[in-house]
Amino acid sequence: MSPSAPAATFALQPPPPHSLRSALRVALATLRGTARRPAAAPAAAAGTPPAPTRHVAVAPGGRAVSYLAAGTPGAPRLVLVHGTPGRAEGWMDYLRAPPGGFEVLAPDRPGFGASAPHDGALTSLAAQAEAMSALLPDERRATVLVGHSLGGAVAARLAAELPHRVDALVLLAAALDPALERVHLLQRLGAWPPLRACLPRALRHANDELIALARELETLRPLLARIRCPVFVVHGLADDLVPVTQVVYLQRELRGAAVHTELLPGQGHFLPWQAAAEVRRAIARAGQASC
């Protein structure tokens, strides 16, 4: 893993949605300027953590994965996996103020941000997990994986494929139950080549991922029993994108793991931004469990 120049500072991006309709809502908000990049980053105050830096890791299959890093090098590693669409900068609050005692890595999943591919989505959860495995440290260091929304499925696939390399798993509004996946007519239209070519890259790839998700989750289902590390599930009771009934599925299918569940009244899908205190608490508990 070779470091490059320090990462630019971005305004916090809109949270990644779990449907094309919501993705379009986020895109319109972006066009109205709610996610504008500031003209210049403010000077760091004395005693503040160093700014996140941009790096590139190479996965076992040779795929390059771009990521932002912050926190304490050499400490237990915390890997933050975004949903769809999304990119590393969506975790900027957790990078600028890293949870204590962690080296924090936030990757651009393949097909998003600065990570290839640029022309076609990588819809396979196995391939996504393989790419994320490049961020796991050696087995002498603890690793906590955090996955939000579709990123939860990627993190779970990685924990199932490499159970000896993941010490705790945090699932935030995670989408894992294939029975709850529905493909809307608008998504089919968005996959029509003439219309698809008009969509921004992130929305093209998000739509491709969501259309393939039910099939991918069916493939993941029999592997979930392989997960042996503690799992911390945080879900909003008012989540209208990934229904809270996902929690029942997780508690049933993660039968090889100790599952700790926290349901948040009044909270929706975008927990990393709207329930940051609860998310940080879950990360701290996962860190303690991984020691």
User: Which CATH superfamily includes the segment(s) 16-23+50-290?
Assistant: Alpha/Beta hydrolase fold, catalytic domain (3.40.50.1820)
> CB-based contacts of 73: which residues, under 8 Å, 6+ apart?
103
For residue 170, the SS3 value is strand
Output the pLDDT for position 22: 54
* 149 close to 175: Cβ distance less than 8 angstroms: yes
Could you give the dihedral angle defined by the CA atoms of residues 8, 166, 49 and 87, in that order, rounded to the nearest 10 degrees? 20
Report H helices in the chain: 20-31, 92-96, 125-132, 150-161, 185-191, 193-196, 201-220, 246-253, 271-274, 276-290
* 107 close to 67: Cβ distance less than 8 angstroms: yes
Output the pLDDT for position 190: 86
Angle between the N-to-C axes of helices 150-161 and 201-220, in degrees from 0 to 180, rounded to the nearest 10: 50
> CB-based contacts of 49: which residues, under 8 Å, 6+ apart?
70, 71, 96, 97, 98
Cα end-to-end span (Å), the chain: 25
Output the pLDDT for position 121: 83
Length of the chain: 291
User: Among positive and negative, which fits the CA dihedral 261, 264, 269, 275?
Assistant: negative
Domain ranges of the chain: 16-23+50-290
3-state SS, one letter per residue, for 149-161: CHHHHHHHHHHHH
pLDDT along the chain (291 residues), means of 10: 31 38 42 32 54 94 94 96 97 97 97 91 95 89 95 98 96 97 88 90 95 97 97 97 96 97 98 98 95 70
Output the pLDDT for position 143: 95
Q: Give the global pTM.
A: 0.85
